[in-house]
Amino acid sequence: RKEVEQDPGPFNVPEGATVAFNCTYSNSASQSFFWYRQDCRKEPKLLMSVYSSGNEDGRFTAQLNRASQYISLLIRDSKLSDSATYLCVSYTGSSGSARQLTFGSGTQLTVLP
């Protein structure tokens, strides 16, 4: 079983739509979680961290449910510029694999005009 699993999509949504991505993680020792965005043929960039209380950054809302080992990302009022692959990432600071991020395979989003 992959340590971080995502629905690969693709998600094709019209401009202005609300879209939600889900992610599950298998390592209960994972301490922190993030969403990274990766544009086609570019490097990943941090979109936002995910906190247990949930957090919002403009049109983006991230939620973490530790009991279910589940992370989500909600994008409201989708823009064409939101088209990208969204990577769910966990951080586990245990010895042996210290200080490493584990990346999901990504969910591809295309926002259509």
- Give whichever of 21 and 34 is closer to another protein, judged by the CB atom: 34
Among 19, 73, 75, 87, binds another protein (CB under 8 A): 87
Amino acid (1-letter code) at residue 58? G
46/65 Cα distance (integer angstroms): 20
Report how far apart, in Å, the C-alpha atoms of 16 and of each of 11, 77, 87, 102, 106 are: 14, 4, 22, 31, 22
Instruction: Count Cα neighbours of 29 within 13 Å in the Cβ-side half-sphere.
Output: 10
Among 1, 43, 53, 95, binds another protein (CB under 8 A): 43
Instruction: State the minimum distance, in angstroms, from the CB of residue 91 to another protein.
Output: 5
Q: Is 64 in the site for another protein (CB under 8 A)?
A: no
Among 15, 45, 59, 65, binds another protein (CB under 8 A): 45
Our measurement of the distance from residue 23's CA atom to the centroid of its chain's CA atoms, rounded to an integer in Å, reads: 7
Binding site for another protein (CB under 8 A): 4, 8, 32, 34, 42-46, 49, 87, 91, 98-101, 103-106
